[in-house]
Amino acid sequence: MKKSAIRFAALAVGALAVAGPAAADLPPLEMKERYKVGFPQMESNNPWRIAETKSFEDTAEGCGWDLVTTDAAGSAAKQVADVDSMIAQGIDVLFLPPREEKPLIPAVMRARAAGIPTFLVDRSVDPNVARAGEHYVAFLGSDFVDQGRRVAEWTLANFEGEEGIIIELEGTTGSSPANDRRKGFDDVMAMHDNMTIVASQTGDFSRDLGRQVMETLLQAHPDVNIVYAHNDEMAIGAIQALELAGRKPGEDVLVVSIDGTRDALQAIIDGKMGVTVESSPFFGPLACETMKRYANGEEIEPWVKVEDRIFTIENAADHIDEAY
């Protein structure tokens, strides 16, 4: 008993010595057998979110987590309240997927003030206000600008028409993937005179809203021949709207998006969708590994970057069985 307490103390001191001034400001994490871990999910209305929550649940036992999860049902305010209640319950570590870039910042600050190391997972917050290594430990996730850029480049290489008339379905307004996926794609397209984004509107990353927004935008822009959706759920919604209007996605409209869900891979196999750049929801193992490194006194890089694959007709069938 006594011996292990001394060992923990030595490790904690070691952590401060190795970590340097910025990281030393962050709440430390002691090495122990079990941790009370908070994962306040933002919503559970799509396969991506469900797969992510399941990944945390599947990781819990092996990583020694007593996992507390909540579902904010699409409300940033509820997600803030969920974090507050986790702080009150005395969690040791917080893995937070912030629904939007700004509203979750007070929750990040309160977790830090309460001495709880926080890792942002899958989405980030406004870097002008809250910073990795200072207010939270690190962001674990994909490069969303690059995802948008890769979709644009694939589209340029594979679009067979002369003039691209593009409708863009944006993700949740104010979320980091929506902001960055738009930037990555739009910046590339802006360099090509034959490509015009005629409308860009939010579908809140949801299949249903994606379909509704696509129905409306189709009326105003019947000549559309490219649809770029910020996630697969909205792409599937757009395909439904196009088919309902008598269009032939994959033939007269090129549909491109991001994530790599089972339905999207199936749509690619069926010839209705061109590409989806991967954005993996399986964060559990990476969260476990990063937390252990932090508890071990390692300095964590501000952005623990996830590498994304790309799925097209070339490989969709090889990956559909592992999809969600």
Q: Which part of the chain contacts ligand GYE (CB under 6 A), choosing from 12-20, 42-50, 128-136, 302-310?
A: 42-50
CA distances from 214 to 41, 43, 115, 207, 209 (A): 27, 22, 45, 10, 8
To the nearest whole angstrom, how small is the minimum distance from the Cβ of residue 192 to ligand GYE? 25
Asked if 184 interacts with ligand GYE (CB under 6 A), we say no
Q: How many other C-beta atoms lie within 10 A of the C-beta of residue 223? A: 8
DSSP state of 132: B
How far, in Å, CA of 98 to CA of 106, rounded? 11
How far, in Å, CA of 269 to CA of 10, rounded? 56
Pick between residue 26 and residue 140 the one whose CB is nearest to ligand GYE: 140
Asked if 59 interacts with ligand GYE (CB under 6 A), we say no
Q: 279, 232, 258: which is closest to 123 by C-alpha?
A: 279
To the nearest whole angstrom, how small is the minimum distance from the Cβ of residue 175 to ligand GYE? 7
Pick between residue 36 and residue 102 the one whose CB is nearest to ligand GYE: 102
In what side-by-side order are the strands of the sheet with 164-170?
195-202, 164-170, 226-229, 254-259, 275-278, 310-311
Distance of CA 39 to the CA centre of its chain: 14
How far, in Å, CA of 103 to CA of 49, rounded? 19
Among 46, 53, 276, 290, binds ligand GYE (CB under 6 A): 46
- Give 20-42 as a DSSP string: HHHHHTSPP----S-EEEEEEES
Q: Which two tokens stand for residue 15?
A: 């952590």
Pick between residue 49 and residue 211 the one whose CB is nearest to ligand GYE: 49
Among 48, 139, 154, 159, binds ligand GYE (CB under 6 A): 48
Asked if 180 interacts with ligand GYE (CB under 6 A), we say no
How far, in Å, CA of 53 to CA of 60, rounded? 11
Asked if 250 interacts with ligand GYE (CB under 6 A), we say no
Q: Which part of the chain contacts ligand GYE (CB under 6 A), choosing from 8-16, 43-51, 162-170, 266-274?
A: 43-51
Per the CB < 8 A criterion, the answer to whether 164 and 225 are in contact is yes
How far, in Å, CA of 254 to CA of 248, rounded? 9
Asked if 53 interacts with ligand GYE (CB under 6 A), we say no
Asked if 259 interacts with ligand GYE (CB under 6 A), we say yes
To the nearest whole angstrom, how small is the minimum distance from the Cβ of residue 171 to ligand GYE? 7
Binding mask 115-154 for ligand GYE (x = CB under 6 A): -------xx-------------------------------
Asked if 170 interacts with ligand GYE (CB under 6 A), we say no
Pick between residue 258 and residue 295 the one whose CB is nearest to ligand GYE: 258
To the nearest whole angstrom, how small is the minimum distance from the Cβ of residue 20 to ligand GYE? 30
Among 177, 210, 274, 284, binds ligand GYE (CB under 6 A): 177
Per the CB < 8 A criterion, the answer to whether 258 and 154 are in contact is no
Residues that bind ligand GYE (CB under 6 A): 46, 48-49, 122-123, 177, 205, 231, 258-259, 279
